[in-house]
Structure 1
């Protein structure tokens, strides 16, 4: 549970990794990230696309951008305010100033739990001393797979699974390749499960789902624990079916619960109707009765 007004480093990571058609981060009006630390610390390193808060909220002049402009400009109306440490909210006048200035304008800012230091500890590869604000600069950014289970399970595209920088930065050890014909990119360095699935109305999952669930579970329970990337072509349908089956079987979650969890972390996930029907059957097999209805997951 995360208290209202706060956001976790993992949630920020997944916001920065979001894509729907194209990576959301490529749009310079996607999200406003404010860094309330000192100018020196900001210039030393900050989260990619973050702005120094003083450029938006001046300590004397107040908000330099009108509320109307903020709401028109930033599509998600989502503002993230950084703080130095998890306990800094009451000790940081700059943070409080930013937070209450934006709140008074009718915005709904959120504070990063643990501040920049917590984010940097988990995702140093998404921190930079460079200003990355305009679209041409944003198109040079690496977009990462979604983090479904913290420091454990990731879901993404075939191109992400073929980028060794991503594999290395996320410490991936195991990969579930759910594509029909995309080759395993690093067979000599990683352990692979090749499923060869097609994203269509005829594809059967009866053998693939338990096989993939066992593979993922074995990797995560290993000593030392592995990290698993599940991918298909776009990271939307086939990979989602595999991830959902694992969450149902090993977290003992209903399909509806698992689907909501996945959507919160990867909004573009969208298993096709054939896969959803088979996941409903899989749920009944796992729990001995139907828990989720088709109408539940169509909403």
Structure 2
């Protein structure tokens, strides 16, 4: 099927998808492969990654993996940034023949060797382990074997919508101090009826839009204030978490409204982007109708046909 480059945010969001449990519990969801040396892998790797061994210049797929059935196969080395051939040379600069040769990065080389075994494109992590672990240090581990019950207990992080700036999550994640610290969250938009221990004594960092999770809920009157709140905090350099009880309907509607305003783009385009980030997002039909009205405010006309199912 070929190779595609995968930005770090894409792998982060793949790792944090949820149905009832983390999607990492599904055996054919993600195959994450590390082609670095054994020493580097043992020292630290991305959670759930398996090391690919090499024998007689041939990459060996871990026995537990059936690539044909896997939805996402992501391969990384130290720092590959391209699918192109790179120039590799030795350190003997005094020689007329410097020993330079054209080679693929290790991740690309491995991906090319395995690409005929998959039904989906193989993803090569852009910037490799170095870039990903610098951005998401909390997803480093030394654990090699993940038992099913450990994956069941894995607590996904909020989905990243705007890199390093806006996250989309649920009430549990908003209450988790480790997640707040790891993602450097400095402001909350709570789109639910629930209240929690958020920024007590500093209400400027919390916007609480109290609406029920029902098609009759009215979010429209809050949208201008919502967009203004997020814009102000982004200008201050704050990281914003938008959340609702389950992070599927109301918070997704809030994120869609902000993206439409910020990018001056259609509901359909914003929907496609958020859906790619969070595959189980599903604002109820009442909220979708209000987002259609918001589109009219933002663009001066209704462009997206919500009768044509966005789902």
TM-score by shorter chain over 0.5 = yes
Call closer, same or farther: CA 1:128–1:188 in 2, change over 3 Å: farther
Is 1:268 the counterpart of 2:280? The answer is: yes
Structure 2 equivalent of residue 84 of structure 1? 78
Call closer, same or farther: CA 1:128–1:264 in 2, change over 3 Å: same
Structure 1 equivalent of residue 223 of structure 2? 209
CA distance in 2, matches of 1:155, 1:272: 17
Structure 2 equivalent of residue 176 of structure 1? 189
CA distance in 1, matches of 2:296, 2:81: 45
Structure 2 equivalent of residue 70 of structure 1? 67
CA distance in 2, matches of 1:17, 1:158: 15
* Cα offset, 1:61, TM superposition: 6.1
Query: Residue 244 of structure 1 contacts residue 258 of structure 1 at CA under 8 Å; is this kept in 2?
Result: yes
- Paired residue for 1:138, among 151, 173, 183? 151
Q: Bigger shift: 90-99 or 37-46?
A: 90-99
Structure 2 equivalent of residue 36 of structure 1? 35
Call closer, same or farther: CA 1:95–1:4 in 2, change over 3 Å: closer
CA distance in 2, matches of 1:52, 1:186: 42
Q: Bigger shift: 272-281 or 192-201?
A: 192-201
Call closer, same or farther: CA 1:298–1:52 in 2, change over 3 Å: same
Structure 2 equivalent of residue 102 of structure 1? 114
* Cα offset, 1:186, TM superposition: 4.1
Query: Residue 173 of structure 1 contacts residue 228 of structure 1 at CA under 8 Å; is this kept in 2?
Result: yes
- Paired residue for 1:199, among 213, 221, 233? 213
Is 1:227 the counterpart of 2:239? The answer is: yes
Call closer, same or farther: CA 1:68–1:157 in 2, change over 3 Å: closer
Q: How does 1:41-56 map to 2 (within 5 A)?
A: 41-54=40-53
Deviation digits for residues 196-222 of structure 1 (CA, Å, limit 9, x no counterpart): 111112111222211211111111111
Structure 1 unaligned residues grouped into runs of 5+? none
Query: Residue 23 of structure 1 contacts residue 143 of structure 1 at CA under 8 Å; is this kept in 2?
Result: yes
Say which SS state the counterpart of residue 110 (structure 1) adopts. Answer: strand
CA distance in 1, matches of 2:78, 2:164: 23
* Cα offset, 1:180, TM superposition: 0.8
CA distance in 2, matches of 1:48, 1:64: 18
Q: Bigger shift: 259-268 or 200-209?
A: 200-209
* Cα offset, 1:187, TM superposition: 2.3
Q: How does 1:111-122 map to 2 (within 5 A)?
A: 111-122=124-135
Q: Bigger shift: 255-264 or 105-114?
A: 105-114
Is 1:11 the counterpart of 2:10? The answer is: yes
CA distance in 1, matches of 2:44, 2:64: 28
* Cα offset, 1:243, TM superposition: 0.5
- Paired residue for 1:150, among 163, 182, 185? 163
* Cα offset, 1:4, TM superposition: 5.7
Call closer, same or farther: CA 1:128–1:59 in 2, change over 3 Å: farther
Q: How does 1:245-284 map to 2 (within 5 A)?
A: 245-284=257-296
* Cα offset, 1:277, TM superposition: 0.3
* Cα offset, 1:133, TM superposition: 2.5
Query: Residue 47 of structure 1 contacts residue 127 of structure 1 at CA under 8 Å; is this kept in 2?
Result: yes
* Cα offset, 1:248, TM superposition: 0.8
Query: Residue 177 of structure 1 contacts residue 194 of structure 1 at CA under 8 Å; is this kept in 2?
Result: yes
Report the count of equivalent residues.
290
Call closer, same or farther: CA 1:67–1:39 in 2, change over 3 Å: closer
Q: What TM-score results when the alignment is normalised by the length of structure 1?
A: 0.89
Structure 2 unaligned residues grouped into runs of 5+? 87-102
Query: Residue 28 of structure 1 contacts residue 138 of structure 1 at CA under 8 Å; is this kept in 2?
Result: no
Q: What TM-score results when the alignment is normalised by the length of structure 2?
A: 0.86
